[in-house]
A and B are shown apart, each in its own frame.
Chain A
Amino acid sequence: MSFAESPNRILYFCSMVFLLVSPNALKAGAKYKDLYKRPTQIPYPASNTYSDARMILGRTLFFDPRLSGSNWISCATCHNPAFSWGDGLAKGIGHGMKELNRRTPTILNLAWGELMFWDGRTESLEEQALGPVASTGEMNLPIDQLLAKISKFEGYQVLFKGAYPEEGITKDTVSKAIATFERSVVSGKAPFDRWIEGDETAISEKAKHGFTLFNEKALCSQCHSGWRFTDEGFYDIGLVGDDKGRGKILPDIETLQYAFKTPTLRNVDHRAPYMHNGSEASLKKVVDFYNKGGDVSRGSKSEHIKALMLSDEEKNALIAFLKTLTSNDAATPVTMLPR
């Protein structure tokens, strides 16, 4: 049999055509890979550029419980690096051990954020930073008292001089230092990223199938898009509850009622329980929730939330994929606090 007649040749020809049309089509999910590439550097605003001194000052403030009225609660009490910068609780616990209304979100990868908080009520990390300090429910320390308190420590005088030599210890420099530290908190390369870079063995075939489902049948990427797996958007996904979220800030816009900010899915398997109210105990519960099309129907509910008809195998593939987003990051150093 000559090569011209061999069935192999036909096969060869067919695959050549296939390769010409779409070079990556043979690899699962490959056509979406370009949408998930990591950026190469952290964006810092021109009004608050990066320096090591600023980051270290910010980190010191972040871990200092004396930023609270009780001298007992630091930012890191709730945004604990060992819980992927959350607290592992369904709802945060603030001043006087009182439960807050919402779950503590992670501060991972916020350098690329747009609006802050579950309801987007502040515009930047700088603007956000002092909110929790003064909030009576969270750290309960008026800002003028905060400034007087930390100004007394020689160690802080030195740190502020190094970080903002011309500016002194002010409301502004405290916020800017904390924001600089927060921007530096970035999740490292996960198995998923190594796969994106071309290592086909970095994640399982099951997880690759999950990634395709994430982008297609399960509709997840309609909102959890890009390398951080969030579009920074606000959606009502049909959770039970009377917290109107973004709708409290913009009551005239119907689609924002009961809407909350799309959270990042980086390192997500370290952050159960899930959602703004901590109502979903596990990733399995989350996937079951989406598969049903949410728990309630309301005029504000997003068009992308509907029954998905996923099989058990497909649900497991989605979860396997979500777990490939977890990086094995170096521990955060905790600096001695100025005394």
Chain B
Amino acid sequence: MKRLFLILPFIITQFASAKDHTITQKGKAFSESEITLAPGDNLIFKNDDDTSHNVFSSVEPMKFNLGIQKPGSEAAHKFDSAGVAELRCAIHPKMKIKVTVK
């Protein structure tokens, strides 16, 4: 029991610091062209278009693929470590967003 009290503040600060940031996809564009996050933050992509999107990053160590994202849906990616990633929509390469994690 005592131990739990000792670690509880850490758990709470962990939760408090991990933030959600939302980017909307509308008119085949992202709502931002760059964003800065803290490690552990979540980036949520919301598709407000009538066409599907597919966010991905092809450069290690931030490589990931959110997969096909239908109109109206949301998809999220958590950025764990510091670095810079250039995300793109695989279908619409004009959709670009630079993510800096620090």
Q: Give me the interface of A with B, judged by CB distance under 8 Å.
A: 114-115, 120, 222, 225, 231-235, 250, 252-256, 259, 303-304
Of residues 11 through 67 on chain B, the ones whose CB sits less than 8 Å from some CB of chain A are: 28, 50-52, 54, 56, 58, 65, 67
Contact between chains at A254 and B52 (CB < 8 Å):
no
Contact between chains at A232 and B56 (CB < 8 Å):
no
**Other-chain contact of B92, A231, A252, A254 (Cβ < 8 Å):** A231
Q: Which residues of A contact B90 (CB under 8 A)?
A: 234, 250, 253, 255-256
- Complex CA distance for A304 and B92, rounded to whole angstroms: 14
With contacts A252-B65, A255-B68 known, is A114 near B93, CB below 8 A? yes
Q: Which residues of B contact A235 (CB under 8 A)?
A: 91
- Complex CA distance for A228 and B28, rounded to whole angstroms: 16
With contacts A222-B51, A255-B52 known, is A232 near B93, CB below 8 A? yes
Contact between chains at A231 and B58 (CB < 8 Å):
no
Contact between chains at A231 and B28 (CB < 8 Å):
yes
The 5 A-B pairs at the shortest CB distance, nearest first, are namely A233-B92, A253-B90, A114-B93, A115-B93, A255-B68
Check B94 for interface membership: any CB of A closer than 8 A. Answer: yes
Interface of B is mostly: loop
**Other-chain contact of A233, B50, B58, B68, B93 (Cβ < 8 Å):** B93
Q: Which residues of B contact A232 (CB under 8 A)?
A: 92-94
Q: Which residue of A lies closest to B69 (CB)?
A: A255
Residues 72-102 of B, flagged 1 when their CB comes within 8 A of A and 0 if not, give 0000000000000000001111100000000
Q: How far is the CB of B96 from chain A (nearest CB, A)?
A: 9
Q: Give me the interface of B with A, judged by CB distance under 8 Å.
A: 28, 50-52, 54, 56, 58, 65, 67-68, 70, 90-94
Contact between chains at A114 and B58 (CB < 8 Å):
no
With contacts A250-B58, A253-B65, A255-B68 known, is A304 near B51, CB below 8 A? yes
21 A-B residue pairs with CB within 8 Å: A114-B94, A115-B93, A120-B93, A222-B50, A231-B94, A232-B93, A232-B94, A233-B28, A233-B91, A233-B93, A234-B90, A235-B91, A252-B65, A253-B56, A253-B65, A255-B54, A255-B90, A256-B54, A259-B91, A303-B70, A304-B51
Q: Which residue of B lies closest to A254 (CB)?
A: B68
Q: Which residues of A contact B65 (CB under 8 A)?
A: 252-253
Q: How far is the CB of B95 from chain A (nearest CB, A)?
A: 9
Contact between chains at A253 and B54 (CB < 8 Å):
yes
- Complex CA distance for A253 and B90, rounded to whole angstroms: 8
Q: How far is the CB of B8 from chain A (nearest CB, A)?
A: 41
Q: Which residue of B lies closest to A234 (CB)?
A: B91
Q: Which residues of A contact B92 (CB under 8 A)?
A: 231-233
- Complex CA distance for A69 and B6, rounded to whole angstroms: 75
Q: Which residues of B contact A250 (CB under 8 A)?
A: 56, 58, 90
- Complex CA distance for A256 and B88, rounded to whole angstroms: 13
Q: How far is the CB of B66 from chain A (nearest CB, A)?
A: 10
Q: How far is the CB of A106 from chain B (nearest CB, A)?
A: 19
